[in-house]
Structure 1
Amino acid sequence: MRWLAEYSLEAIAQAVRQVAPELDGRPITTRALVNKDDPMWWSSSAVIDGQYVAKFAWSRAAAERLAHEIAVLDELPVPYLPKVVASSTDPLLLVTELVAGASLFEVIDSIDRDEAGRQLASFLGALHACGGAYPPATLQPASTDVLRKRFGRWARPDQQATVIKWCEWVEKVLGTPRGSVLVHGDLHGGNQVWDGGQLRAVVDFETAGLAEPEYDLRAFPGTGPGVELLTATMHHYPGELDPERVMAWHVRHALGDALWRSEAGVPLPDHRTPPEWVADLTDRFAALGVAPS
């Protein structure tokens, strides 16, 4: 496996020339870099001629994730995948067709959530039914130990005991083993492309692997007002999903996101505060009829 020596337009163009020579010479538009101080995140994407997306990396850690995505996309017989135009690990590059549309975050207030849930359930059902020898998914949410030790300073004093209680409940719920399936691993709204109320593509399979099916729904309770998207997806899903396990993962996901952003001085995505996110979690538990005790 050979990744880019550096992040530069010249290095990207050279990789495109080798992997997809039919696209050589077409204009390449790069993205602004984030987290560029940590080699773990030395990866990005560029748009070629307004029609294709090229993903690349320039460190071993980032390259391993992209190589994993290339291998996964090469095997998956599921709907809503972007069409792979070319891929290679020497040099490391993944080129897919650009899918027109907007992220779920941008359209959630304007689409029918039951229909959206039906489409997401179709994708998840097909993905979770895939066989194959896959490694465990890279589980990203903060652990309950981390939340118990560090989140308190960001919550209101009257919320701190509640957060501790939630951590104990999460440990109890997730302490019981659950069968593993192939999961996307990072199925938030930014990794979904929607257009005209239709799911056009699910992207970014770098963390795909084996985990319980509820893990893939951990961001759904916080997508849009209320929990309608989650309940619709669970209703249409071709199998059994446990709302308690979804919410247990959601607690780790939501509080973990609020924690790292607060500690890094990065605004929360909706520009509100950690105490407001704790209040939102309380409302979501109530809406789902889940009692974390």
Structure 2
Amino acid sequence: MELSWLDGPTVGAVREGLRRVAPELAEGSIEPRGLEPSDDPQWCAASAVVDGRFVVKFAWARPPALRIWYQARILAALRTAAPRLPLPEVVTVARDPAMLIMRRVPATPFFRVRHLIGPAERDRVARDLATVLAELHDPGVLREISEAVGPLPEPTAHATTDTLRARFGTLIRPDQRELVLSWCDRADTALAAPGRTVLVHGDFHGDNHLWDRETLRLRLVVDLETAGAGEPEFDLRCLPADCGIGLFTETVTHYEKLTGTTLDVDRIMAWHLRTVLGDALWRAEAGVPLPDNRTPAQWVDDLSARFAALGTA
């Protein structure tokens, strides 16, 4: 069956798609998320909560339709390769139009519970994060997924260090520019040699792991559309900012105990640098506010504090 997608970013188009894919849901309530027009076909995708019980992913252009189908195949393969991973329950998958329908789970993104994590909860939260990543990064999982899905892409950070050297300096204070250049040099050194290769989530930030607000236990890992073959350190690159350095280092410790392997914190921070500054760069150049409504210069100050807390330059 040929792959197709919705006619446009409207609730009506979503409902028409449901009539073709899951008729029993077509007349239910539809609460869209991110249903906005885009000039870039890469971002012509969104999700919706249907009937309060299901999450539907859909697209109105070919590139995101391909990602939806890819994610569906990854989820199906992981059910066998890593059955203990807390993944969404897939209800329906379709190609015409591309839709992925999953059962909704009452859980909260990490960004909305992290302020609740105190000293008493930190070890448990770190263990949950480490356990999920250790399960995903098991070498046998990569083999099984590659056999089921075929060649996997290699996820990468938002920007290269060459891009940051060339374009980021105009966004920050003059006294920060040499510092950023030195970080880019250090990142190049850290990543000069190849690392181990595992299956990585590819976008393991605080909106993509969901938690029980009462117990502070990890309930669900979502949005595997960028899953691919990469190094373990790549998947931990968001944690220094999302979790804070204390929780991040405890997660690293638990991960190493669970896997019997060592993580290179310099590599994690090299990916962290490229991700954080790359995110700030594209948003600034596109005229899009940073998520916390601060400035790239303030993000550089945050990075400097994280490097200092880790005892790295």
Tell me how far apart the structure 2 counterparts of residues 286 and 140 of structure 1 sit (CA, whole Å).
Answer: 22
Task: From 71, 76, 79, give the equivalent of 2:78.
Answer: 76
Task: From 105, 109, 112, give the equivalent of 1:103.
Answer: 109
Tell me how far apart the structure 2 counterparts of residues 285 and 35 of structure 1 sit (CA, whole Å).
Answer: 39
The aligned counterpart of 2:253 is 235
1:178 Cα shift? Answer: 0.9
Instruction: Give structure 1 stretches of 5+ with no counterpart.
Output: none
The 8 Å contact of residues 10 and 35 in structure 2, kept in 1 or not, is answered as no
Amino acid at match of 2:136: L
The 8 Å contact of residues 223 and 229 in structure 1, kept in 2 or not, is answered as no
Aligned sequence identity (%): 48
SS in structure 2 opposite 1:11?
helix
Amino acid at match of 2:225: E
Structure 2 CA distance for partners of 1:269 and 1:125, relative to 1, 3 Å: same
Query: Equivalences for 1:193-272 in 2 at 5 Å?
Result: 193-195=210-212, 196=214, 197-224=216-243, 226-237=244-255, 238=259, 239-272=261-294
Moved more, 257-266 or 215-224: 257-266
Deviation by residue 1:167-217 (Cα, 9 ceiling, x = unmatched): 111111111111211101011101121122011111111111001010011
TM-score by length of 2: 0.88
1:145 Cα shift? Answer: 0.7
Aligned residues: 290
Note if 1:135 corresponds to 2:152. yes
TM-score by length of 1: 0.94
Q: Which has the higher helix share?
A: 2
SS in structure 1 opposite 2:132?
helix
Note if 1:114 corresponds to 2:123. yes
The 8 Å contact of residues 110 and 209 in structure 2, kept in 1 or not, is answered as yes
Moved more, 247-256 or 5-14: 5-14
Tell me how far apart the structure 1 counterparts of residues 272 and 185 of structure 2 sit (CA, whole Å).
Answer: 14
The aligned counterpart of 2:92 is 86
Structure 2 CA distance for partners of 1:35 and 1:90, relative to 1, 3 Å: closer
Tell me how far apart the structure 2 counterparts of residues 182 and 8 of structure 1 sit (CA, whole Å).
Answer: 35
The 8 Å contact of residues 243 and 290 in structure 1, kept in 2 or not, is answered as no
Tell me how far apart the structure 2 counterparts of residues 169 and 39 of structure 1 sit (CA, whole Å).
Answer: 35
SS in structure 2 opposite 1:109?
helix
SS in structure 2 opposite 1:223?
helix
Moved over 4 A (4+): none
Amino acid at match of 1:156: R
1:267 Cα shift? Answer: 2.0
Amino acid at match of 1:68: Y
Amino acid at match of 2:98: L
Tell me how far apart the structure 1 counterparts of residues 185 and 21 of structure 2 sit (CA, whole Å).
Answer: 50
1:4 Cα shift? Answer: 1.7
Tell me how far apart the structure 2 counterparts of residues 212 and 109 of structure 1 sit (CA, whole Å).
Answer: 29
Note if 1:40 corresponds to 2:42. yes
Tell me how far apart the structure 1 counterparts of residues 308 and 34 of structure 2 sit (CA, whole Å).
Answer: 40
Tell me how far apart the structure 2 counterparts of residues 9 and 160 of structure 1 sit (CA, whole Å).
Answer: 46
Instruction: Give structure 2 stretches of 5+ with no counterpart.
Output: none
Amino acid at match of 1:211: G
